[in-house]
Amino acid sequence: MASQDASATDGDATRTAARVVLPRTSRTESSEALFEVDTPAADAVGELEARPAVPDPEAPGRPERRVIRGDARHIPLDSNTVDLVVTSPPYWQKRDYKVAGQIGQEPDPAGYVAAMMDCLTEWRRVLRPTGSVFLNVGDTWKNQSLAGIPGRIEAAAADAGWLIRNRIIWAKTRGMPDPVQTRLASRHEYIIHLTPQRSYYYDLFAYARKYGRAGSTANPGDVWDFRNIPYEEGSSLWDEESPISKVDWDLDNPGDIWDIDLERNMARHLAPFPSEIVQRAVTLACPLVVCSECGRPRERVVEKTAELDASRPQAKRAMELAREKRLTAAHIAAIQATGISDAGKALHVQTGTGRNAEHVRQLAAEAKAALGGYFREFTFAPKRTVAWTDCGHDSWIHGTVLDPFLGTGTTLNAAHSMGRSVIGVDLNPVPVKD
């Protein structure tokens, strides 16, 4: 999740490992982090001992499970009690469920959007300040034209003060047959991520670890894998002719296209919702535990390690150079603080360059001069969870997921299996089985 101050010691009172202050990813719009580095006495790179990873936090007892007959616009829940809303409302003018008070059969798009805004107003009330909404909504063809429903909802939500954090593309490569001959078959829907404020719970570390590209055997597309690109010591990282300049440096963020197949569902509901959508949203935006007194979630504290994969020639050479040049833990931490943002082309395109302290920039310059092009190996060192934030009340409960359009209960089943408390609301709830 949002990363916090991570400090470490190696057990020797005379040596303190580098401290890197990582930003709360949910509280900054800049791609450049603010860092501080405390200079250790004289730690050599080869002597660093990483802090061990810590387990995920747990709440006592089993997560709760509730199903409520009711309207998504008027939910009988207390305010500030839900951590995440994941839902898929009836799409406009698609199916008539023959239920009084249903949403989806309004005469025009404006009426549908108004109904959805009534829902969002109610969801804002029940959400904790750190909560999120993941809203799956499809578009509708009317009079041979798209109605633009997702965009209309986004615009109305933004006008109402919501932050539109992402428009995620749900790519349905094996969707339902479409007999139309005058346009391309529709093979995607939108999942809109909204938050009521700038600071919210977001665990990109857990999401990238679960859904990132590591270990994938699929066609990598137009991303060059930096591990397979040879380079010479001292070469320019951002040389226009170098293939390294074409590397996707954002490997910790898997992106906003979710390729998820439809799921078969034998229930009488006509619009099954893939459980993977729920799993992704929960991984990203629902804390494992929150404080029952103050409502704060426990947030992941991560730090980069100095560990490299010795089986890779580039990594092995980087470690050799670091030892030969007697680089310290502070040098490595400074490299990880500045990254590639102060080198070559990046110096001119990164907006955050220059905000690190002068002594950090000096240490980074020394290390990069010693390592040449191999310095980048340390910028991609693996991260690990070293702690979880603690408000001090010691009163933890499970994070809570709400689906205001329960349907067949996919959201409840998926989120509950992930250890979250779940609440489903529907005008006509069907029996939901685990």
422 vs 302, residue with greater confidence:
422
Same domain, yes or no, for 338 and 348?
Answer: yes
Q: State how many domains the chain has.
A: 2
Among 80-84, 176-180, 362-366, name the one with the lowest average pLDDT.
176-180
Q: How remote is the C-alpha of 54 from its chain's centroid?
A: 20
Interval 386-402: pLDDT, tens: 999 999 999 999 999 99
Same domain, yes or no, for 267 and 194?
Answer: yes
Interval 318-363: pLDDT, tens: 889 989 999 888 888 888 888 765 544 334 334 444 455 788 888 9
Q: Radius of gyration of the chain from Cα atoms?
A: 25
What pLDDT score was predicted for residue 402?
99
- CB proximity list for 278: less than 8 A, separation 6 or greater: 86, 401, 410, 411, 414, 415
Residue 363 lies in a domain: yes
- Strands 20-21, 5-6: parallel, antiparallel or unpaired by DSSP? antiparallel
**Do 106 and 119 touch, CB atoms closer than 8 A?**
no
What pLDDT score was predicted for residue 87?
98
Same domain, yes or no, for 37 and 113?
Answer: no
Question: 3-class SS at 67?
Answer: strand
59 vs 32, residue with greater confidence:
59
What pLDDT score was predicted for residue 199?
97
> Residue range 412-429: average pLDDT?
96
- Strands 421-426, 400-403: parallel, antiparallel or unpaired by DSSP? parallel
d(CA 236, CA 340): 11
CA distances from 176 to 149, 192, 272 (A): 20, 22, 12
Reported as a pLDDT band with limits 50, 70 and 90, residue 138 is very high
Among 88-92, 294-298, 351-355, name the one with the lowest average pLDDT.
351-355
Reported as a pLDDT band with limits 50, 70 and 90, residue 211 is confident
Same domain, yes or no, for 154 and 169?
Answer: yes
Residue 18 lies in a domain: yes
Strand order in the sheet with 65-69: 65-69, 421-426, 400-403, 82-87, 127-137, 188-195, 163-171, 257-259
What is the DSSP-derived secondary structure letter of residue 245?
G
Same domain, yes or no, for 246 and 223?
Answer: yes
Whether pLDDT at 225 is above 80 = no
**Do 65 and 79 touch, CB atoms closer than 8 A?**
no
Same domain, yes or no, for 166 and 101?
Answer: yes
Residue 56 lies in a domain: no
CATH number at residue 114: 3.40.50.150
What is the DSSP-derived secondary structure letter of residue 335?
H
Reported as a pLDDT band with limits 50, 70 and 90, residue 213 is low
What pLDDT score was predicted for residue 88?
96
What pLDDT score was predicted for residue 413?
96
What is the DSSP-derived secondary structure letter of residue 226?
G
Nearest partner of 88 among 270, 286, 288, 259, judged by Cα:
270
> Residue range 303-319: average pLDDT?
83
Question: Helix 109-126 and helix 149-159: axis angle, to 10°?
Answer: 50
256 vs 326, residue with greater confidence:
326
Secondary structure in 3-state letters for 147-189: CCHHHHHHHHHHHCCCEEEEEEEEECCCCCCCCCCCCCCCCEE
309 vs 20, residue with greater confidence:
309
d(CA 130, CA 197): 8
Reported as a pLDDT band with limits 50, 70 and 90, residue 33 is very low
Residue 126 lies in a domain: yes
> Residue range 7-29: average pLDDT?
31
Q: Which residue's structure tokens are 């990282």?
A: 237
pLDDT cut 90: percent of the chain above it: 46
d(CA 266, CA 225): 42
What pLDDT score was predicted for residue 387?
94
What pLDDT score was predicted for residue 227?
32
d(CA 372, CA 327): 13
Domain carrying residue 368? 5-49+214-250+306-381
Whether pLDDT at 300 is above 90 = yes
- Strands 300-304, 289-291: parallel, antiparallel or unpaired by DSSP? unpaired
Q: Is the dihedral of CA 2, 273, 126, 63 positive or negative?
A: negative
Same domain, yes or no, for 331 and 367?
Answer: yes
DSSP assignment of 89-158? PPPTTS-----TT-SS--SSHHHHHHHHHHHHHHHHHHEEEEEEEEEEE---EETTEE--HHHHHHHHHH
Reported as a pLDDT band with limits 50, 70 and 90, residue 2 is very low
What pLDDT score was predicted for residue 308?
81
Question: 3-class SS at 414?
Answer: helix
Q: Which residue's structure tokens are 């509708």?
A: 140
Residue 165 lies in a domain: yes
Same domain, yes or no, for 167 and 81?
Answer: yes
What pLDDT score was predicted for residue 145?
95
Residue 431 lies in a domain: no
Same domain, yes or no, for 295 and 404?
Answer: yes
Residue 386 lies in a domain: no
What pLDDT score was predicted for residue 163?
99
Same domain, yes or no, for 39 and 166?
Answer: no
Whether pLDDT at 215 is above 70 = no
**Do 193 and 287 touch, CB atoms closer than 8 A?**
no
Other C-beta atoms closer than 10 Å to the C-beta of 111 total 13
Reported as a pLDDT band with limits 50, 70 and 90, residue 434 is low
Question: Helix 313-324 and helix 358-371: axis angle, to 10°?
Answer: 110
Interval 268-279: pLDDT, tens: 444 467 899 999
Same domain, yes or no, for 112 and 77?
Answer: yes
pTM of the complete model: 0.74
pLDDT cut 70: percent of the chain above it: 69
Other C-beta atoms closer than 10 Å to the C-beta of 141 total 12
Among 42-51, 83-92, 97-106, 256-265, name the one with the lowest average pLDDT.
42-51
d(CA 243, CA 225): 10
Same domain, yes or no, for 97 and 34?
Answer: no
Q: Which residue's structure tokens are 């390729």?
A: 259
What six digits make up the tokens of 256? 């906003």
Residue 55 lies in a domain: no
